[in-house]
Amino acid sequence: MFRSIMQQGLSRRDALRLAGSGIAAGSLSGWMPVLAQAASAADAGSASASARKHKSCILLYMDGGPSHIDTFDPKTHPDTKGEFQAIDTNVPGIQIGEHLPHLAKQMDKCVLLRGMSTGEGAHPRAKYMMHTGYREGVGGLNYPSLGSIASMEIGDPKLPIPNYVGIGRAHGAGFLGASHAPLIVNDPTRGVENLKPFVAASQFDRRLGLFEEMEAAFLKDYQATSGTDHRTTYRRAVEMIKSKEALAFDLAKESEATRKLYGNGRFAEGCLLARRLVETGVAFVEVSLGGWDTHEDNFDRVKGLCGQIDKPVAALLADLKARGLLDDTLVVWMGDFGRTPKLNARGKKPGRDHYPRAWSAFLAGGGLQGGRVIGKTDEKGADVVENKIAAIDLMGAICQVLKIDSGKWNQSPIGRPIRIVDKAAKPIPGLV
């Protein structure tokens, strides 16, 4: 049996490892070429990761829309100020909200974008636009997310784990298809589950062989996109089963000291996993944190949410820097939109409502010079008065930093050419 296996491209060690996992038992039918390809991809991927030179991106997405006034654009106007004080950062002249003390010490690595002004005040449409750069429904297309674009443009095709990973949630690949769809990791501490067979080796083998034969017969008769996507998805899973790179998903490999640096909680664990993944060679990782829709009890909720992001994000920036990864890793912090400068009085405790007209984001790493602020809002935080930045401008800037040609045209399923970023995008002054 092993002689037959090795004749198809795997070493004796690989064959033994496959047998131990319940894959190489008896005849492997059509799966043998897939596994041989996976072994080759794993070796190539390891070499690629060890010589890591490409750009990567970590998107920290604040689902619901954080209050800019209570985080990165504090104000003193009595109509706006609220309950929080501003604190100094390690960059003279830049102040942020008092509940981000750890991030204040990393501000020399960040470019604060206080001029964000987008056009969508409803959560689903805003999330769609901030992930794709396009308004939902325009042209009747499902546009790819930035993560899928990064997977296609700067991802390593030989990497045996996906080039786009979403921790918690992520926007899909749109018309780019299954090859660039995100792998969703719901719990960072558990990594990617179900990578080991749950049945006896011989039974697992028979199921795989039968499945491959059925799949091939179906695709022969029906040239359907969904069928091709399905085959792509399960073959990616087989590659992951075989790969050494899948160990990147195991947080137990990290030292106690490093885990303590990031802190506790699902978001903190997601940030640590993101660092492990880009270190392994993954092009794009999104880590999301919900709860920012603070229509009621704004101040207590923002204080708690800042407590969840402050230490982990600061640790991520410091850790990337210490490992020599920050210059090649762009970290993006953003949400749906901002919150109203004026407090509402609908609940027992006041809140802030949706506000896309003026809000904040930040970029760090990727070769950018940190310790700067681009854009300015008025004294109330209500209007952008300097360097207004639209969603497509930010999308274009991220592509520029990642060395993605934002003017490239991709073909939609109906043959319509679509730019990665709409031509109306304007450069962000002074960013690069």
Same domain as 79, residue 1: no
Domain-embedded: residue 390: yes
**Calpha distance 362→124 (Å, rounded):** 22
Task: Say what the pLDDT of residue 35 is.
Answer: 41
Q: Is residue 30 part of a domain?
A: yes
Query: Is there a domain that residue 113 lies in?
Result: yes
Residue 220 lies in a domain: yes
**Cα gap 389→431, rounded to integer Å:** 11
Q: Does 173 share its domain with 291?
A: yes
Let me know if residue 201 belongs to a domain.
no
pLDDT at 238: 63
- Provide the 10 A C-beta neighbour count for residue 151: 27
**Does residue 213 share a domain with residue 151?**
no
| Same structural domain, 354 and 401 | yes
Please check whether residues 379 and 362 belong to one and the same domain: yes
Assigned domain for 133 exists: yes
Confidence of residue 244 (pLDDT cuts 50, 70, 90): confident
Give the whole-angstrom CA distance, residue 400 versus residue 63: 24
Q: What percent of the chain has pLDDT over 90?
A: 69
Which residues constitute the domain of residue 102? 55-191+250-419
pLDDT at residue 413, rounded to an integer: 81
Terminal-residue alpha carbon distance, the chain: 58
Contact 73, 360 (CB under 8 A): yes
Q: What is the CATH number of the domain that holds 148?
A: 3.40.720.10
Residues 163 and 281 in one domain: yes
How many distinct structural domains can be found in the chain? Answer: 2
Domain shared by 389 and 263, yes or no? yes
Residue 202 resides in a domain:
no
Q: What is the pLDDT of residue 48?
A: 41
365 in the same domain as 345: yes
Residues 70 and 142 in one domain: yes
**Model pLDDT, residue 196:** 61
CA distance 100 to 33: 52
- Are 219 and 365 contained in the same domain? no
Residues 41 and 71 grouped into a single domain: no
For CA atoms 57, 62, 67, 69, the dihedral sign is negative
Residue from 394, 399, 402, 337 nearest 365 by CA: 402
Q: Round the average pLDDT of the chain to a whole number and report it.
A: 85
At 346 the pLDDT is 82
Q: What is the pLDDT of residue 231?
A: 60
Q: Is residue 233 part of a domain?
A: yes
Same domain as 311, residue 387: yes
The amino acid present at 55, given as its one-letter code, is: K
Does residue 40 register a pLDDT over 60?
no
Give the model's confidence band at 360: pLDDT under 50 very low, under 70 low, under 90 confident, else very high.
very high
Q: Which of helix, strand or coil describes residue 25?
A: coil
